[in-house]
Amino acid sequence: MTARVMVRARIRAGEEAAFEAAYAQVTAQVAGTPGHIRDELLRPCADDDHYILLSEWTDEAAFLAWEDAPIHRQTTTPMRPYWAGRVRRDIHIVAHHSTAHAPSPTNTAPPAPEGEVP
């Protein structure tokens, strides 16, 4: 089952842009890792000061294999100097997935009777 990994990290004040650049470097290196699907970085809102680093993996075992490998620490090193304190890492298994449907670009309303404006 697909696994999502969520890392919650506070970033040193004034270092946010440098952290985001380091994150981009790390995700470029992680791309292509067996079992890795994608990554996302969420900036904090006004009432929070933590970034959320999300990654998606084919399953929990694929993520844990990468996390336990020596390459994990080497690959993620560029982000570590920007962390202010400990980070929290949680793994979640996707229990349900839905696909959002965008509204149709065409007008689906029935045509107005002749002479009337819809």
Structure confidence by residue, pLDDT tens digits, 30-42? 999 999 999 999 9
Read off φ and ψ for residue 61, nearest 5 degrees: -60, -40
CB 11 within 8 A of CB 84: yes
Tell me which residue has tokens 């999502």.
4
Residue 101 pLDDT level (bands cut at 50, 70, 90): low
- Lowest average pLDDT, out of 23-32, 41-50, 55-64, goes to 41-50
Q: Which helix (H) or strand (E) holds 57?
A: strand 50-57
CB 41 within 8 A of CB 17: no
| pLDDT value for 114 | 61
Mean pLDDT of 58-69: 96
